[in-house]
Structure 1
């Protein structure tokens, strides 16, 4: 019997089996901002995708993953504070990474921009993303997360309503960040550096790829798990 079927959404699959996100990303299947769409509808819309094969790969990988002793995290049983602490630890490292990565993006644009014109647009889009994520993280840490932790102690309707409004804002910002990451993915040809790329060029693309992966997981945990707890 299959664990995952056409009736599951990408978000539900990744919630149970996080490694499925790698396969979804390789096929450009959204599992975060638009992750609630059933796979059946995803495959109908994307006729070029072989739904049977993708589901077979995911189910086989999940079976092997469990046989290797990996434990499934029951995100629904984890407190909001524990989930926030997890997000803070694993996904809010960007206050250091974004400026450092920005220096690499600037360097390869300055050195190789004449030979590779797309680096000018990459520089522009990256800095827009950097500003978006930095502002987003500050808002989460200073406003949203403290409110959610406060609600765990005193569950008042007023606090609940404030959290709902902030969640709506955060989801809009997640969509904006996802669109910018999509542009970066396209500009870098899926983070594949040119044959003649120098070491700095390759490091830049590798770190951009990691940024995309980390941000998508960040959005997934918030949109599909944390924020879902505050739907009326």
Structure 2
């Protein structure tokens, strides 16, 4: 779903953002008219306050299809805020995950903690599926080692034999930053390969060496957060974990 991908993308760009958060910025119609890196959060605030899709289209010129998807997120956020965790039923928790809410984001809405939401999610067997990124637009079967997690699936695309070594990358960095921290991850992967170990890389910057297809045996393009890293760890059951 676009909602899931959109909220994941917002968290990847800034580790201090929980998702499509309506409380990060106030409503300012001038900001809605000017595209900036913060306009999404002004848009979230406007949707939460009841602005119509048509009015927001006039201000932003963002296609109504995308605005409707964003509205789905804010409407569900409002539903979550009416609940406490004891009233967060299985179907609501699953739906929240399918439209991209993180455990931390859900916890904030229902006045609970990330660990409590995670515990409830596992008790209800609400866990992500591992899918392969299709680099050939379904023209042929996907055979890449590029992987991601989604709650909008029914089966895994890969098996989990264990015995991998998992390397956690450095995540986002801005233009102008140096990349020596990524080279640490690359050096680690190469040394592990030299030792004959199979490797898993968790990172999400596509313009860096550690996310090249030939650097590791499995590459998860995923958020580097407690929730996601632990989900991958539980699925893969690696022999070891290295923080770069």
Same fold (TM over 0.5): no
Query: TM-score, structure 2 length as denominator?
Result: 0.26
Query: TM-score, structure 1 length as denominator?
Result: 0.27
Return the structure number with greater strand share.
2
Return the structure number with greater helix share.
1
Higher relative contact order (CA 8 A, sep 6+): 1
